[in-house]
Amino acid sequence: MTTLEKKISAVAVIQTLMMGMLDAFTFIHFAGSFATAQTGNIVTFGVDIARGQYGQALIHVPVFIGFLFGAAVAQLVKNYFSNYDKRRQFQIYLLISAIFVTMTFFGYPFGYMVFLFMLGMFSSYELTMFSEMGGHQVNNGIMTGNIKNLGNNLANYLFKGNKDAGKKAFWYSTGLLAFIVGILIGGIVMQPLVQYVLLLVAVVNIVMTITFIN
């Protein structure tokens, strides 16, 4: 891998860990909501409506809308900077990521509706921009496809000797492991310090921006 590919992969792995941490954080403290897994939000929203828990169902709405909005913003950013070289794009995407997560952190005092909207927007941006590990596309927030692709590529590597499939399996498993570690950090280690979860994510993103911007 080139130096740039190594940086892109490192950021993707770290962001995957952060997404796991945020999912654990929102699930525990916002009525089973997820920062990244919108399928889960739709299911819990429907179940809450069916149970007549309308106030609780409302909690799942802002993160869903924010996620949708974040995907649109990410695509617009990609389109706008499409003529830049990959290194320059990476630098810009990192800088915007640091701005997004800082805005999200300062949105916390404005209530859960604003905070969850901004968190959904940030998560969607991250999933769109930082999904490349080792030159392969790995979803850094939704593990269903990664687990399926891991199984597919493991089969091709073990039974067909496909080395490229083996490399892909490595990166899918790396992403999966990073996500699980993030969940453990968000759900166990940071539990007594819940107010600092987003601060940690913001600091990590800022440090990555400073470290990998050159």
Give me the pLDDT at residue 162, please.
94
pTM: 0.89
Residue 32: which pLDDT band, with cuts at 50, 70 and 90?
confident
Name the one residue in this structure whose structure tokens are 């601060």.
199
The DSSP bridge partners found for residue 137 are 132
Q: Give me the mean pLDDT over the 61-73 stretch.
A: 94
Beta bridge partner(s), residue 133: 136
pLDDT digits (tens, 9 = 90+) for 88-114: 999 999 999 988 888 888 887 788 889
* pLDDT value of residue 28: 86
pLDDT tens digits along 119-131? 999 999 999 999 8
Neighbouring residues of 3: CB distance < 8 A, sequence distance ≥ 6? none
pLDDT value at 4 more than 70: yes
Residue 214 has pLDDT above 80, yes or no: no
Domain holding 58, by residue range, is 3-212
Is there a contact between 104 and 118 (Cβ–Cβ < 8 Å)?
yes
CATH of the domain at 37: 1.20.1250
Q: How many domains does the chain have?
A: 1
Predicted pLDDT of residue 194: 64
pLDDT tens, position by position, 156-201 = 999 999 999 999 999 999 999 999 999 998 888 776 676 678 888 8
CA quadruple 37, 41, 44, 47: dihedral sign: negative
